[in-house]
Structure 1
Amino acid sequence: MLLLKIALAPFVLMAAVFLAMITHISGLTLHHRLAWQPTTATVLNSETLCEVTYQPVDAVLRAVAARGPCETMGNVTLPRGGTTPRTLMGVFGALAYDTDGVGQKWEGKLADAGVYNVRAGDKLTLFYDPSSPQHIDSAQYKGWFGGLLIFGVSAGLIVFCTWLAWPRRRSPIDTGGKPNNKNSRPYVPPARAVNGRRQGFGRA
């Protein structure tokens, strides 16, 4: 049983991480729907581009070296000291929307705003942060079936392992009236009563 618990420990850890990630994403999306303000956005442009990122010497986060058509991203010169270039493909575009009568424009990777499969001229509902209108999100649950499946499997694995590791009391063993402790005194049955008098064992 101990070996089984040790073998299941890494899977329980991964299940807990997946559970925390799904809970965080779901809670964040719900918060955007309830606390942020809705607005109608217009897609100004949408195109598939490649982005080359690198690791700066004096920064922890990666920076963007160049962005453009994928066929032109083969020979990008990194800034001095930049290392580990990576080329990623994505859909980039621009969105226009109003926040309390003030026009706003957002540009970047559309997936960062929760926007997918759109073309120039499309209109869609977005939610923006009242304290920072440049932060927008579609607040749509994407891939909910796969997320729900992962959530159920992870939660089930954690519940099973918790039940497996939970200490349980052992039921006493039926010894037919005899004590189960080898160091205890031998069992002596009670004396029989005959004519109101107790009688021990032996011949009458």
Structure 2
Amino acid sequence: MFVLARYLLMPVALIAAILFLMALHIIGTALHHQAAWQRTVATVTDVSPYSEMHANGLKTDGINVAVAYVANDAPMTWSGRGKDVGLYTAAKGDRIEFYYDPADPSSLDTAAMKGWRGGLLMLAVTGGFTAFYVWFFWLRGRRVTA
């Protein structure tokens, strides 16, 4: 019974391990941006909503934004989809804190850590499940011989 469960749960454990690594990457990237990138305050100069229909029939709503900011003592502008820089709601005239890459000031990120609690929960659940699976089905009951 345990041998069958060991192999039936292996795909679930692999998916959990991959989700754990993805959550680590997302949280690590946001923390890196907060630590290594420069901070600036941008002013939203334009906001327009958009909707797009995907081939599978799902509709995605979002905003296109344009922001003006100062990076490396030079005035800069950026425009595009808000989700590309971590911005999901905005109004014209809003002042929003961004981080920019000093080597490429046109690369912006809010590094806002949206869903921080959910990310930690995902780390705990997927990591815990994977560790329990490995211990219960692969390591438990093994004897160390010297």
**Rg larger in 1 or in 2?**
1
- 5+ residue gaps, structure 2, are none
| Alignment pair present for 1:169 and 2:138 | no
Aligned counterpart, 2:24: 23
User: Quick one: distance in 1 between partners of 2:39 and 2:5?
Assistant: 51
Q: How many Å apart are 1:8 and its aligned residue? A: 1.1
What is the identity percentage for the equivalent residue pairs of Structure 1 and Structure 2? 36
Aligned counterpart, 1:181: none
Q: How many Å apart are 1:90 and its aligned residue? A: 1.6
Aligned counterpart, 1:180: none
- Which stretch of structure 1 is more off in the superposition, 139-148 or 12-21? 139-148
Q: Which runs of 4+ in 1 moved over 6 A?
A: none
User: Quick one: distance in 2 between partners of 1:53 and 1:12?
Assistant: 31
Contact 2:23/2:123 (CA < 8 Å) preserved in 1?
yes
- Which residue, 119, 126, 133 being the options, matches 2:98? 126
| Alignment pair present for 1:151 and 2:133 | no
Q: How many Å apart are 1:147 and its aligned residue? A: 1.6
Aligned counterpart, 2:65: 93
Q: Tell me, what secondary structure is at the counterpart of 2:45?
A: strand
Q: How many Å apart are 1:88 and its aligned residue? A: 3.8
Q: How many Å apart are 1:87 and its aligned residue? A: 6.3
| Alignment pair present for 1:12 and 2:13 | yes
Cα deviation digits, residues 138-177 of structure 1 (max 9, x gap): 111111222222211101111111112115129xxxxxxx
* Code of the aligned partner of 1:14: I
User: Quick one: distance in 2 between partners of 1:147 and 1:27?
Assistant: 11
* Code of the aligned partner of 1:163: W
Higher helix share: 2
Cα RMSD of the aligned pairs, angstroms, is: 2.2
**TM-score, normalised with respect to structure 2:** 0.87
- Give the total of aligned pairs: 141
- Which residue, 106, 117, 141 being the options, matches 2:113? 141
User: Quick one: distance in 2 between partners of 1:125 and 1:99?
Assistant: 12
| Alignment pair present for 1:44 and 2:45 | yes
Select the structure with the greater relative contact order (CA < 8 A; seq sep ≥ 6): 2
User: Quick one: distance in 1 between partners of 2:114 and 2:72?
Assistant: 28
Q: Tell me, what secondary structure is at the counterpart of 1:163?
A: helix
User: Quick one: distance in 2 between partners of 1:87 and 1:156?
Assistant: 35
**TM-score, normalised with respect to structure 1:** 0.63
